[in-house]
A and B are shown apart, each in its own frame.
Chain A
């Protein structure tokens, strides 16, 4: 009744090929963007519930946005192209450290050649984007084995990348500007002359990045390249037989995915943490991203958002409920319960709907189109 397409006639090709062909979808998206860009900052500025303290913005929405971005990147590789990757944490680290070096000035002395490459500190936006490009470059490099290795074996190969970069950023002091402890501070966030400092500003910054990149990605996966990726995912030998070049498709998947994950890593380090060490991007982060993508739905942009929200909020909620109910449970027991409940939820969701929340939502939408009729 509410979700009818009746009467929505398309008169141009552009309308027909739109990302959201149904008007109700467009309205819903507009409302969502309105709340995100305008509503939330307004509520936060006037400290109206639920933004009475900074906690929701700083500790929930900000990591949600950045991790959703990283999940989109991971989804491209794992969901659209079918290449299992456990190295997403390393690509986030590459993006973060590359952006850090570019933001604080790069100086590579080639002593034996007699000159040095010296780049002055670049503006933060440029550093983040070039950091993403660096991650993309490395992604292509580590994607080359995917031409020969498939499935879970590829997951192990990407773990090689993960552990190697864990070690590299700990051991080579050049990446951390020779800081004695190996911990680095982000440069000041100056975008087009504005200093981004308060939680609301950081939130809007991340929201802009996420919105732009999600929009671009959505169009990318609907196009030729996306279809090549999905063909490779479904049956790579058949895809090769009909003329899709696996080299091009797989490496572009790695490149685009690593770019997005690298930008997310730079945002995580610069905007959310402010000061970080290599352990922030360890294998736990990679596994977390993989969970988000699988729980949210492989091959779905919206699924990345839902998965990120789920994975991020469940532990926090499990932590808050006993304290709010006043039940005196030790933090140790809470953490153990967290593990148990988290694992059970993952198993339950995988059993009920292996294709994740995105599939549940799309089933819901289909039912909504018929509602209130049953069929």
Chain B
């Protein structure tokens, strides 16, 4: 019985000691950047390459440039498993680490974004939701700390319809057609629905949303329904294993893969390789960049992988989601660099990095300097426009690689903006936020 008491004491001591060991690692001239990632669970197939890309880019900045103007980057990963409460816990644990706290947060999950929006605004840490997150957070006057860079889901929905119209031969040909949305039953999947309903009303096509319950491995009945409904196009808004399953099930009911268009989160190698040859013809949107190696990859290979500090196998460099991780990291780093112009070359607080983000302006020349020529178009973020750019292309899988099959599309701002103002105004009223006056911002 003494054993029990002793064991209890040991267990209690272990628990307590673990909990209170949160002393921050004090490194003085370093900028702390947390990486919220998920390398386990149903979404890990897509989350892992993204996190690898980001980690490699931060490493590159440290190894090649010695940091941002001499301020090295301190990076720490935290596993969220795509769960909201774990994401919140990771955020709380990492937000004050480093000399000045976290520079910015990348949750890579729309659900976690919703949970953190208020907290990040209160803690003054910018939350970068590149290509995902709240579509209404484009309005920087209300959402000072949210940055849905490069595209929101409403832009994505509009561009997908533009591409379909192009394939059919014109917007007038959309009338009477049937377009289904196979979506992940979560805030991520539901976000495009209002935009698609607006578009359906405007162009006269029949829009059918079809939900898939998390985690998305059961899709047989959805595809049987699609086979009966015979839509002309199916938009896939999935994540993780739902994507691969969608393509497989489409093959199992013989739905033509080239009539499936995935959003930019449903178009990566882990989604198409499980289905093998059956995935040939599947299309997806591109969040500006696609797969492939560009000058920045050569640098990553030279400065990071050659020294054995890479996060993944060298064969995976250049995949779609890996590139997305690099782009995301680059935008964050450039924001810090911009903020250092105003606040000095030292570790910065989240509030200062926010200013850097809001004034970020990457031209073609600068993108070429950074090694991203061919991957991205110029980006200009402002107080009123936290999206920065809303261009995309469409790519198609040919069995071995992704091929770009379209020109650049730009989302139809006049159509999207009324929805953005409506929903963000409602949020501002709910939360009693006084929208900033963007004309007065410096």
Touch between chains A and B, by CB atoms below 8 Å: yes
> Hey, which bits of chain A sit against chain B, CB under 8 A?
49-50, 52-56, 58-60, 63, 167, 170-171, 180-183, 185, 188, 272-277, 279-280, 282, 284, 309-310, 313-314, 316-321, 323-324, 330-332, 334-336, 353, 360-361, 363-364, 367
Q: Is the CB–CB distance between A277 and B187 below 8 Å?
A: yes
| Structural contact, B19 and A56, CB atoms closer than 8 A | yes
Contact with A along B77-89 (1 / 0, CB 8 A): 1110101110011
Q: Which residues of A contact B78 (CB under 8 A)?
A: 319, 331
Q: Are A56 and B14 in contact (CB under 8 A)?
A: no
Q: Which B198-222 residues have a C-beta within 8 angstroms of A?
A: 211, 213-214
Assuming the A-B contacts A313-B18, A320-B18, are A332 and B39 also in contact, with contact meaning beta carbons closer than 8 angstroms in the complex? yes
Interface residue tally for chain B (C-beta within 8 Å)? 54
Q: Given that A56-B22, A332-B39 are known contacts, is A182 also in contact with B187, CB under 8 Å in the complex?
A: yes
Contact B1 A181 (CB under 8 A): no
Q: Are B92 and A335 closer than 8 Å at their CB atoms?
A: no
CB<8 Å pairs between A and B, sample of 15: A54-B92, A54-B96, A59-B88, A59-B93, A170-B186, A181-B134, A183-B114, A185-B431, A275-B114, A277-B186, A280-B85, A323-B76, A330-B77, A332-B79, A335-B81
Q: Are A280 and B84 neighbours in the complex by a CB distance under 8 Å?
A: yes
Classify the interface of chain B: helix, strand, loop or mixed. Answer: helix
CB distance from B43 to the nearest CB of A (A): 12
Q: Pick the contact of A59 from B15, B89, B188 — CB < 8 Å?
A: B89
Q: Is B185 an interface residue (CB 8 A)?
A: yes
Task: Determine the distance from Cα of A312 to Cα of B190 in the docked complex, in whole angstroms.
Answer: 31
The binding surface of chain A is classed by DSSP as: helix
- Closest beta carbon of chain A to B8's beta carbon, Å: 6
- Selecting from B115-123, B142-150, B276-284, B325-333, the interface stretch reads B115-123
Does B37 make an interface contact (CB < 8 A)? yes
Point out the residues of chain B lying under 8 angstroms from A52, CB to CB.
22
Q: Given A277-B114, A367-B5 in contact, is the A170-B185 Cβ separation under 8 Å?
A: yes
Query: Which interface residue of B5, B48, B119 has the most chain A CB atoms within 10 A?
Result: B5
* Interchain CA distance A367-B1 in the complex, whole Å: 8
Q: Evaluate whether A273 and B77 lie within 8 angstroms (CB atoms) in the complex, with A180-B194, A182-B190, A336-B40 already known.
A: no
Most-contacted residue by chain B among A54, A320, A364 (CB, 10 A): A320
B20 and A275 form a contact (CB under 8 A): no
Q: Which residues of B contact A58 (CB under 8 A)?
A: 92
Task: Please name all residues of chain B whose beta carbon is closer than 8 Å to the beta carbon of A59 when the two chains form the complex.
Answer: 88-89, 92-93
Q: Interface residues, chain B, CB within 8 Å of chain A?
A: 1, 4-5, 8, 14-15, 18-22, 37, 39-40, 44, 48, 76-79, 81, 83-85, 88-89, 92-93, 96, 110-111, 114-115, 117-119, 134-135, 185-188, 190-191, 193-194, 211, 213-214, 423, 427, 430-432
Chain A: CB-nearest residue to B96? A53
Given A180-B193, A331-B79, A364-B4, the answer on whether A279 and B22 have CB atoms closer than 8 Å is no
A181-B110, A275-B117 are known contacts. Are A53 and B190 too (CB-CB below 8 A)? no
Q: Given A275-B118, A279-B111, A321-B18, does the pair A180, B92 have CB atoms closer than 8 Å?
A: no
Contact of A53 among B1, B22, B211, B213 (CB under 8 A): B22
Please state if A332 and B40 are interface contacts (CB–CB under 8 Å).
yes
CB-CB < 8 A to A275: which residues of B?
Answer: 114-115, 117-118
How far is the CB of B89 from the nearest CB of chain A, in Å?
A: 5
Residues in B with CB closer than 8 Å to A309 are: 15
CB pair B118–A320 under 8 Å, yes or no, is no
Q: Which residues of B contact A276 (CB under 8 A)?
A: 84, 114-115
Q: A185-B118, A275-B115 are in contact. Are A320 and B85 (CB under 8 A)?
A: no
Smallest beta-carbon distance B297→chain A, Å: 22
List of A residues within 8 angstroms of B89 by Cβ = 59, 63, 316
Asked if B37 contacts A331 (CB within 8 A), the reply is: yes
Chain B residue, CB-CB nearest to A310: B15
Is there an interface contact between B93 and A185, defined as CB atoms closer than 8 Å? no
Residue with the highest number of chain A CB atoms closer than 10 Å, among B89, B187, B431: B187
* B40–A55 touching, CB < 8 Å: no
Most A CB atoms within 10 A — which of B115, B134, B213, B431? B115
With contacts A274-B118, A313-B15 known, is A335 near B39, CB below 8 A?
Answer: yes
Contact B21 A324 (CB under 8 A): yes
Docked complex Cα distance between A363 and B4 (Å): 9
Taken together as a complex, chains A and B put the C-alpha atoms of A167 and B193 apart, in Å, by 18
> Shortest distance in angstroms between A309's beta carbon and chain B's nearest beta carbon?
7
B96 to chain A, nearest CB (A): 5
Q: For residue A332, which residues in chain B have a CB less than 8 angstroms away from its CB?
A: 39-40, 44, 48, 79
Q: Give the residue name and chain of the A residue nearest to B14 (CB).
A: A317
Nearest CB of chain A from residue B57's CB, rounded to whole Å: 18
B20 touches A50 (CB 8 A): yes
**A310 to chain B: closest CB distance in Å?**
8
Q: Given A273-B88, A279-B111, 10 other A-B contacts at CB below 8 A? A: A50-B22, A170-B186, A181-B110, A182-B190, A273-B84, A274-B118, A314-B15, A316-B18, A317-B14, A321-B18
Which of B48, B93, B430 has the most CB atoms of chain A within a 10 A radius of its CB? B93
Of B1, B14, B135, B431, which one neighbours A363 at CB under 8 angstroms?
B1
If the complex has contacts A279-B84, A279-B186, A313-B15, are A320 and B92 also in contact, measured as CB distance less than 8 A? no
Does B187 contact A335, Cβ atoms closer than 8 Å? no
Measured between alpha carbons, how far is A323 from B432 in the docked complex, in Å?
40
Complex contacts, A63 vs chain B, CB 8 Å: 85, 89
Q: List the A side residues contacting B5 at CB < 8 Å.
A: 364, 367
Query: Which chain A residue lies CB-closest to B35?
Result: A331
B115 CB contacts on chain A under 8 angstroms = 273-276
Provide the bound-state CA to CA distance between A68 and B173, in Å: 59
Which residues of the partner chain A approach B39 to less than 8 Å between Cβ atoms?
A: 330-332, 335
Are B18 and A317 in touch, CB under 8 angstroms? yes
Residues of chain B lying within 8 A (CB to CB) of residue A55? 22, 92-93, 96
Q: Give Cα distance in the complex from A284 to B432, angstroms.
A: 34
Which chain A residues lie closer than 8 Å to B134 at the CB level? Answer: 181
Contact of A279 among B79, B135, B191, B214 (CB under 8 A): B214
Q: Which residues of A contact B79 (CB under 8 A)?
A: 319, 331-332, 334-335
**Chain B residue with Cβ nearest A268:** B85
CA distance A309 to B8 in the complex (A): 13
Which residues of chain B come closer than 8 Å to A353, judged between CB atoms? Answer: 4
Which of A171, A181, A188 is most buried by chain B, counting CB atoms within 10 A of its CB? A181
Partner pick for B8 among A181, A321, A364, CB 8 A cutoff: A364
Q: How far is the CA of A273 from the CA of B40 in the complex (A)?
A: 23
In the bound assembly, the distance between CA atoms of A275 and B91 in angstroms comes to 15
A253 nearest CB across to chain B (Å):
28
For B96, the chain A residues whose CB sits under 8 A away are 53-55
Distance between B75 CB and nearest chain A CB, rounded to angstroms:
12
Closest beta carbon of chain A to B13's beta carbon, Å: 11
B40 in contact with A335 (CB, 8 Å): yes
With a cutoff of 8 Å between Cβ atoms, the chain A residues found around residue B213 in the complex are 167
Bound: A353/B4 CA distance, A: 10
Q: Which residues of A contact B194 (CB under 8 A)?
A: 180
* Cβ A316 vs Cβ B85 within 8 A: no
Do B22 and A180 touch across chains, with their CB atoms under 8 A apart? no
Let me know if A360 and B15 touch, CB within 8 A. Answer: no
* A324 → chain B closest CB, angstroms: 5
B80 nearest CB neighbor, chain A only: A331
For B133, the closest partner residue in chain A by CB is: A181
- Assess the A181–B114 pair: CB atoms within 8 A: yes
